[in-house]
Amino acid sequence: MKISTRIIAAVLLVAGSSGAVYAFSKHGDWGMTTEEKVEFISDRVTNKLDLDAIQREKFTELAEMVVVTLQEVKPTRDQHMAELNSLLQEPSFNQARALEMIQQKTQLMNERAPLVISSLAGFLDALSFEQKQQLQEFMQHRLENRGHKHHRSDR
C-alpha cells in the first residue's frame, strides 16, 4: 500500500471515528443539560407518536417530573455506593444499615410516585387509541430487545 493511501485511510478513519463519537455522545446524552435531555426526548416522542400541542405539553410535564425525581435521588447515590462498599468490607454485614439505606430511597420514591403517576395518567389519557397502540408496540419491542441484549448465553 502506498504511503499516500495509508495517510488518506488514516485521515478517513479518524474523521469517521470522531463523527461516530460525536453522534453517540449527543444522542447518548453525554454532556446534555437536564433541559436538553427533556427537549431531546420530547422531540423524539412527539415525532414518533405525532403528538399535538396539548399532548406534547403533557409529555413535557411528565418528562420534567421524572427528571426532577431522578435529580432528587442522584445526590445520595455516590454516598450510598460508598457506604455500601464499606458495609461489604466489614467482617459482618450490617443488615440494619443496609435496610435503612433501602428504606430511605423507597421513602423518596413513594413520596414522588403519586406525582409521577398523575402526570403519566394525564399524558396517556390525552393519547388517541392509535397512539396508545404505537406506544404499546414500542414498549413490547424494547422489552423483547432488552431480553436478547442481556441473555446472549442462550444462543
3-state DSSP assignment of residue 95: helix
Is pTM beyond 0.85 here? no
Helix pair angle (95-126, 53-89), 10° resolution? 170
Q: What is the mean pLDDT of residues 97-123?
A: 85
Query: What's the pLDDT tens digit per position in 71-82?
Result: 777 777 788 888
Q: What is the residue extent of each domain of the chain?
A: 1-31, 33-154
C-alpha cell at 115: 406525582
Q: Is 81 helix (H, G, I), strand (E, B) or coil?
A: helix
- Is 54:126 a contact under the CB 8 Å cutoff? yes
| Cα–Cα dist 44/48, whole Å | 6
| pLDDT attached to residue 154 | 46
pLDDT for 28-86, tens place per residue? 555 777 778 778 888 888 888 888 889 888 888 888 888 887 777 777 778 888 888 88
